[in-house]
Structure 1
Amino acid sequence: MERIEGSESGSDLQTVVRAGAVLFAFDQNTPELGLSQLATKLGLSKAAVHRLAQTLVSLGLLEQNPTTRTYRLGVRLLQLAHVVQSSLDIRHEARSHLRDLRDSTGETVYLMLRRGDGAICADRIEGSHPMRDLSTPPGTTVPLTIGASGTAILSTLDDTEVEGAVRSLDSKTAADVIERVDAARARGFAMTRGDISEGVGAIAMPLLDDRGAVVGAVSVGGLLSRVEASQVELAAAVTRTVVEIAEAMGWKQV
């Protein structure tokens, strides 16, 4: 473990780094550590480590043994690990269904997972058409206010949440987003025209978990004229894929 450099009255960012270093100090060989051990490992004073550790305890990220007063990792980390594992499971379970969607439509297929006010591209399968959409590489995070997947996700949220998502936008852009969301709710699927890449159209459906909470969206993207001409068929194909992925995950779509 590297010692933490810098003064103990550092910035908020330094505090976050130090809190992370406290968590990373634990491993399989040392699942519990006392205050002095942590201070030695991190190169910080006991007082500084105590403040960090107690804050992490209050968040459930650390626990303190009431008898020995040593620290161990908290169960809240298991919840976070479950979120990560769930995302990995979705990608694994969805892959074959996304490939089938690409094969049946010829368009590029995306699996987008919600991350707060954005959606991250968890998987992309390139279309087979000569003119195909490659606008969002895997790992890219896109605001929910941009793209068909974001619109599909927003369409499942209540109006207060949608208003919160557009609050930082100028009035015209915010109005455009809300109009797209309203259209998606009325139409039953989200459709966007050139808002990520000029000349590209996309259609998306939200993916809901077993509690009815939105976890992401599946979309197809391609040449705008082609997508517009086949929007009903594409929407039906994306809907089937969403249902298949939900069933593979053991979720019932609400």
Structure 2
Amino acid sequence: MEKPSPAPESANKQKVRSAEVGTDILKALAQLSPSTSLSRLAEHVQMPASKVHRYLQALIASGFAEQNPATNHYGLGREALRVGLAALGSMDVLKVAAMPLSDLRDELNETCFLAVWGNRGPTVVQIEPAVRAVTVVTQMGSVLPLLSSSTGLVFGAFLPARETVEFIREERSDPAVQDPTQLFQQIREQGLHHVHGLLLPGVDALSAPVFDAMGKVVAVLTVVGPTSMFHADEHGPAAKSLLAASRAVSWRMGYQG
């Protein structure tokens, strides 16, 4: 007597579950990269080794995983690399940051903006202005100084020195501008920076970096507001919200730090 075929709905659920298990194993291979043993992989995903092995064979057949014949360890395959590169290529920090930047403005009701590193230095490319009578006007396309703005100082702290050396040399031609080396180190340790009236009297600012999948700073999120209303305290609630937003954008850009 023939066994009845599974109901279409049940079969679909099995396919969905199978796909979920496969993606869990792919994620584990990425987390345990460059390679891992079957036993370690099975322990990581909390599945029987025999089950993991079956899925690995399917992933190898499709090019998403591979096995080193010398060690018998498993790693991501060529197709996984192709998919990853395609995903990275589609990551646009302006698009990724749009919603978190808007949400941050709504939460703090202060002007928030995104800056990227341009050929003339830190350049404002996206702005969410505060919704109230007293606000700080920041212009789209504005180029900010490296050593006298919180945005510029964060870029200076995280960019390779070769990209900032000429800007630093030019701005330090002013005797009043100090060597930023120690400050850069402090910013890297804290993960953000604040200034009180450094660029504009009566205006405070908080800035935090955004990183991509390679760990490179690709943008800086900044909150600015009048000193009388905005408290740019590195340990205050605004700083915590800013850090949460910058980390969310970094995570979406593929950063794992």
Deviation of the 1:231 alpha carbon:
4.1
How far apart are the structure 2 equivalents of 1:223 and 1:110?
15
* Runs of 4+ residues over 4 Å off in structure 1: 158-164, 176-180
2:150 is aligned with what amino acid?
Answer: A
Contact 2:148 2:199 in 1 (8 A): yes
> Does residue 246 in structure 1 map to residue 255 in structure 2?
no
Q: How does 1:56-205 map to 2 (within 5 A)?
A: 89-116=92-119, 118-134=121-137, 136-157=138-159, 163-169=165-171, 170=173, 172-175=175-178, 177-178=180-181, 180-205=183-208
| Bigger mean CA deviation after superposition, 167-176 or 219-228 | 167-176
User: Does the C-alpha gap of structure 1 residues 237 and 176 become closer, same or farther in structure 2, counting only changes over 3 Å?
Assistant: farther
Q: TM-score, normalised by structure 2?
A: 0.57
The structure with more radius of gyration: 2
Which residue number in structure 1 is paired with residue 36 of structure 2? none
Q: Which consecutive residues of structure 1, in runs of 5 or more, have no partner in the other structure?
A: 1-81
Q: Which consecutive residues of structure 2, in runs of 5 or more, have no partner in the other structure?
A: 1-85
Contact 1:162 1:178 in 2 (8 A): no
Q: CA RMSD in A?
A: 2.7
User: Does the C-alpha gap of structure 1 residues 143 and 229 become closer, same or farther in structure 2, counting only changes over 3 Å?
Assistant: closer
How far apart are the structure 2 equivalents of 1:198 and 1:100?
27
Secondary structure of 1:127's aligned partner: coil
Deviation of the 1:184 alpha carbon:
2.2
Q: TM-score, normalised by structure 1?
A: 0.57
The sequence identity of aligned pairs, in percent, is 23
Which residue number in structure 2 is paired with residue 235 of structure 1? 239
Contact 1:180 1:190 in 2 (8 A): no
How far apart are the structure 2 equivalents of 1:224 and 1:97?
24
1:102 is aligned with what amino acid?
Answer: R
Contact 2:194 2:232 in 1 (8 A): no
Count matched residues: 168
How far apart are the structure 2 equivalents of 1:150 and 1:171?
16
How far apart are the structure 1 equivalents of 2:180 and 2:109?
28
2:178 is aligned with what amino acid?
Answer: A
How far apart are the structure 2 equivalents of 1:129 and 1:214?
32
Deviation of the 1:228 alpha carbon:
3.2
User: Does the C-alpha gap of structure 1 residues 130 and 180 become closer, same or farther in structure 2, counting only changes over 3 Å?
Assistant: farther
How far apart are the structure 2 equivalents of 1:188 and 1:208?
11
